Amino acid sequence: MPAYNRPDALPRALETLLSQTFDEFAVVIVDDKPSAEVRAVVDRYAALDGRLVYEPNSQRLGMIGNWRKAFERGRELYPSSDYFAWVSDHDMWHPRWLEALVETLDRHPRGVLAYPLMQRVYERHRRSVTRRFETRGTASPVRRLRTAQKGMAAGNCVYGLFRASALERAGVFRPVLAPDRQVIVECLALGECLQVPEILWYREVAGEFSYGRQRRMFFPTGIPLHTYLPTTVQHVSVLFWDLAVRGIGRPGMGRAAGAVYAGAALWFESRRELLKPDAWWREMLRKTPLKPWISTRPRADDADDETPVANAPGPIA
Amino acid sequence: MTSTPDPTRPATPLWERLARRVASRFGPGAPRKAGPRRSKQERDQELVELRGQRIEKKQQADEAREQRRREQAARRDEARLDLDRAVDAAYANYRRVRDWALHVRAAGGGHLPLDDRDRQIAASLAPLWDADRATIANLRHWSDPVRGPQPSLAAAPPELGERLRRRVGMLRKWQLGHVLVPEVATLGKSGFMIGKERHSEESVRFALGTAALAEGGVLSAFHKPSDRGLVWEIGGGWGGFAYLFKTLCPNVTYVITGPLERLLVSASYLMSVYPAARCRFYGEPGTGEIWADWDDVDFVFAPESLLSDLSPPRLDLTIDIDELRGMAPARRAALVQRAHEWGSRYFYSMLPALAVDDPAGPWDVIARFYWPHPISLRTERSRAYRRLSPPEHEAAHLIGWKRMCL
């Protein structure tokens, strides 16, 4: 759990995690903004449950550094663990969340990631996200990639359960913008993404998406220049380096096949970036008199497949 | 080989073609309409034969009709005998339940400080303490006070049946047909025939409850054939929700607690619609340890007054079908707390939609012990469904996850 200053929501998050029906797991909290309140909450639950490990950072690592550290510390402390998941310090998980995901990955050895349907929790209401995306049964990595470009919401998938070895090969989180999308695209080169068709994760909605916000959150000590390149260039460069030069996909995917995969990613991502409803050229045209003719559909990651839940309160104290 | 008309040859004139047609129809070579003239004797003979054939056919049809009548009568007799046997069994079940309830009451275990609603229900159900066979044969109709007013076939307005029919159709359309469990007509018919199944407002309401449990990720936990679940329903109503839940998830032990009068109804009903069910009654002479081999038992019935003595080995789900709402706050809180103490992982509560915002409602108490998650069903969100179902008929669903720290 990469934590960052949410002592208000942490008890709920910890309770829903520690109440999982599948109990062979541990929670490693890596706190990027330690405080007495967070410490008190963690101590209270650590006294009840020995599966809780707390590690405050002595200096702020930023989101990418903190997410990487959570993975690395998890692997160091529990090297025999087959699976790994990032969890936030403010969401809620259904008691069967881990049980269903572990069962799915156990049944499908070719799966590298399993994730459930989710419900967004707003301040005063909730919305169920019924988007369906998975690459179950698709043997070709390029076909998996093509499917992902059409329907994947990386921000939801990244909170799924990963096969730890595959995630390690894929390089965990890289210092690029939208690192969740990058790591999942890389994982898709190694195996299938599976979806559990039940709402088992309740996600509290944070602020608006923007690359500027990502740069500030990811790199607190200084923003690298390469993050000003288009995200497609950042992602494909990492992919090419990993798959075509380092050959991390071997033996399943050779270097040449890795280069083809990176090329396919360049094509699919470029097309996606150009055609998406909030593409830069659409934004520019929206500032002109042509605005009425420009589509105003929301981002694919957001509201197009959400359904409201009546009588549903938002965050619960 | 086909010949093509010669364009140079002049066509036959129209008058000649008409004349040929008339000659072919009425001329000497034209076919005669009638056959050779027959004698009167031959014609009479033919008539007699025709009449005989007609009589023979009628006799055969009469015999077939009679045969069908006999078969239908036999089937009716068989069904009546089956029903008689079922009612006999139901009456025997009722007497067992009544003997147990009387025993508990005599031992002082039935005393429970009742709320107004409970007192009303107990007064309405008072005749059931000394019911005859005919009363038990119509147990569904006798349980009106427990389940609320229910339209019977005769009294229901036609629009109610139509509305129910459309609601069932919509549930099926929304892929929720699997939670629809039809009514059993054994102990009194209730509801409407929709297709080949009988459904009532209650069966549809309960189906929506199980749909909420499915949407809330709870129902699938009880589908595992390996892991026996333990479910506790507070009050138990007339046993309708228990019947539906047990039909959908057979691998559970279902515990019902409530005032003795209501257990008379629910226990008699469930034992009758599930003749092979293994039932236990808390405090029944000769039962022994109530939880011994509990996973071999289908239903456990216990008076609410003896809850403190009843300590189940585990508890997976607690169900409240609009029972807590009618209780005094202290009693309500004690029941939710009991569920939490017994380790119930989930708490499901169904309320009328209009009662959700009532500050004195039970959901606040549930939220003290459980993380609350309101469930809004896809069907209920659809405009078409809402048109069919006015808000006063709608239900709201809440699933709670057990809190670790209170």
CATH number of the domain that B337 lies in? Answer: 3.40.50.150
Put simply, the answer to whether A15 touches B371 (Cβ < 8 Å) is yes
What pLDDT shows up at residue A304? 36
Put simply, the answer to whether A11 touches B405 (Cβ < 8 Å) is yes
Checking if the pLDDT of B58 tops 90, the result is yes
Whether residue B401 contacts residue A16, with contact meaning beta carbons closer than 8 Å, is answered with yes
H-helix segments, B107-143: 116-124, 133-137, 139-142
Q: Which of A245, A82, A65, A62 is nearest to A165 (CA)?
A: A82
Residues of B in contact with A316 (CB under 8 A): 367, 371-372
Mean predicted confidence (pLDDT) in A200-216? 82
CA B257 to chain CA mean position, Å = 23
Put simply, the answer to whether A15 touches B404 (Cβ < 8 Å) is yes
Q: Which residues of A touch B (CB under 8 A)?
A: 11-12, 15-16, 18-19, 21, 44-45, 48-49, 92, 94-96, 126, 128, 198-200, 202, 307-313, 316
Please report which confidence band the pLDDT of residue A95 belongs to, taking 50, 70 and 90 as the band edges. Answer: very high
Distance CA B348, CA B363 (A): 10
A-B contacts (CB, under 8 Å): 63
Please report which confidence band the pLDDT of residue B213 belongs to, taking 50, 70 and 90 as the band edges. Answer: very high
Task: Give A167→chain B minimum CA distance, Å.
Answer: 28
Please report, as a single letter, which amino acid is at residue B76: R
Whether residue B279 contacts residue B96, with contact meaning beta carbons closer than 8 Å, is answered with no
Whether residue B188 contacts residue B211, with contact meaning beta carbons closer than 8 Å, is answered with no
**Averaged confidence pLDDT in chain B:** 84
DSSP assignments along A10-29, one per residue: HHHHHHHHHT-S-----EEE
Whether residue A254 contacts residue A245, with contact meaning beta carbons closer than 8 Å, is answered with no
Classify strands A111-121 and A192-204 as parallel, antiparallel or unpaired. parallel
Put simply, the answer to whether A21 touches B374 (Cβ < 8 Å) is no
What pLDDT shows up at residue A310? 39
Number of domains in chain B: 1
Task: Give B221→chain A minimum CA distance, Å.
Answer: 8
> Which of B374, B380, B404 is the closest to A18 by Cβ?
B404
* Residue B9 domain flag: no
> Which of A12, A18, A309 is the closest to B371 by Cβ?
A12
> Which of A48, A198, A308 is the closest to B217 by Cβ?
A198
What pLDDT shows up at residue A1? 93
Nearest-Cα residue of chain B relative to residue A202? B373
Name the percent of chain B in helix, strand, coil, to the closest 5: 55, 15, 35
Residues of B in contact with A15 (CB under 8 A): 371, 403-405
* Residue B91 domain flag: yes
Structural domains in chain A, CATH included, are 2-275 (3.90.550.10)
Q: Do you know the residue count of chain B?
A: 406
Q: Which of B260, B235, B234 is nearest to B107 (CA)?
A: B260
Checking if the pLDDT of B10 tops 70, the result is no
Please report, as a single letter, which amino acid is at residue B86: A
- Say which residue, B280 or B126, is predicted with more confidence: B280
Return the bridge partners of A193, or none. Answer: A113
Checking if the pLDDT of B153 tops 90, the result is no
* Residue B74 domain flag: no
What pLDDT shows up at residue B381? 59
Put simply, the answer to whether B373 touches A96 (Cβ < 8 Å) is no
Least confident of B5-19, B321-335, B364-378: B5-19
Checking if the pLDDT of A317 tops 60, the result is no
> Which of B220, B346, B402 is the closest to A198 by Cβ?
B220
Please report which confidence band the pLDDT of residue A230 belongs to, taking 50, 70 and 90 as the band edges. Answer: confident
What pLDDT shows up at residue B345? 94
> Which of A16, A45, A309 is the closest to B374 by Cβ?
A309
Q: Count CB-CB contacts under 10 A for residue A63.
A: 19
Checking if the pLDDT of A285 tops 80, the result is yes
User: Tens of pLDDT along A144-167?
Assistant: 999 888 888 888 899 999 999 999
User: Tens of pLDDT along A55-92?
Assistant: 999 998 988 999 999 999 999 999 999 999 999 999 99
Residues of B in contact with A313 (CB under 8 A): 372, 374
Question: For residue A161, what are the contacts with CB-CB under 8 A and spacing of at least 6?
Answer: A83, A84, A85, A98, A101, A102, A105, A113, A114, A115
Put simply, the answer to whether B374 touches A311 (Cβ < 8 Å) is yes
Domain carrying residue B103: 83-402
Nearest-Cα residue of chain A relative to residue B397? A311
Task: Give B66→chain A minimum CA distance, Å.
Answer: 57
Residues of B in contact with A308 (CB under 8 A): 376, 381
Distance CA B70, CA A11 (A): 73
What pLDDT shows up at residue A121? 87
Distance CA B405, CA B399 (A): 18
Please report, as a single letter, which amino acid is at residue B181: V
* Residue B180 domain flag: yes
> Hey, of B224, B375, B379, B383, which one would you mutate to test binding to chain A, going by the most A CBs within 10 A of its CB?
B375
What pLDDT shows up at residue B3? 47
Mean predicted confidence (pLDDT) in B310-314? 90
> Which of A44, A92, A307 is the closest to B381 by Cβ?
A307
* Residue B53 domain flag: no
* Residue B3 domain flag: no
Put simply, the answer to whether B376 touches A94 (Cβ < 8 Å) is no
CA distances from A135 to A111, A194, B79, B159 (A): 9, 6, 54, 47
* pTM of the predicted structure, to 2 decimals: 0.80
Put simply, the answer to whether B372 touches A313 (Cβ < 8 Å) is yes
Q: Which of B301, B262, B259 is nearest to B278 (CA)?
A: B301
Residues of A in contact with B346 (CB under 8 A): 95
Q: Do you know the residue count of chain A?
A: 317
Q: Which residues of B touch A (CB under 8 A)?
A: 215-217, 220-221, 345-346, 353, 356, 367, 371-376, 378, 380-381, 396, 401-405
Put simply, the answer to whether A19 touches B367 (Cβ < 8 Å) is no
Residues of A in contact with B380 (CB under 8 A): 310
Distance CA A270, CA A116 (A): 28
Task: Give A295→chain B minimum CA distance, Å.
Answer: 26
For chain A, give me the number of helices (H) and strands (E)?
12, 10
Least confident of A133-137, A303-307, B76-80, B209-213: A303-307
* Residue B43 domain flag: no
> Hey, of B376, B379, B406, which one would you mutate to test binding to chain A, going by the most A CBs within 10 A of its CB?
B376
What pLDDT shows up at residue A41? 93
**Averaged confidence pLDDT in chain A:** 86
> Which of B216, B221, B381 is the closest to A310 by Cβ?
B381
User: Tens of pLDDT along B128-151?
Assistant: 888 888 888 888 877 677 765 444
Residue A112 is inside which H or E element, if any? strand A111-121
* Residue B64 domain flag: no
> Which of B372, B380, B401 is the closest to A19 by Cβ?
B401
Tokens of B359: 């500050």
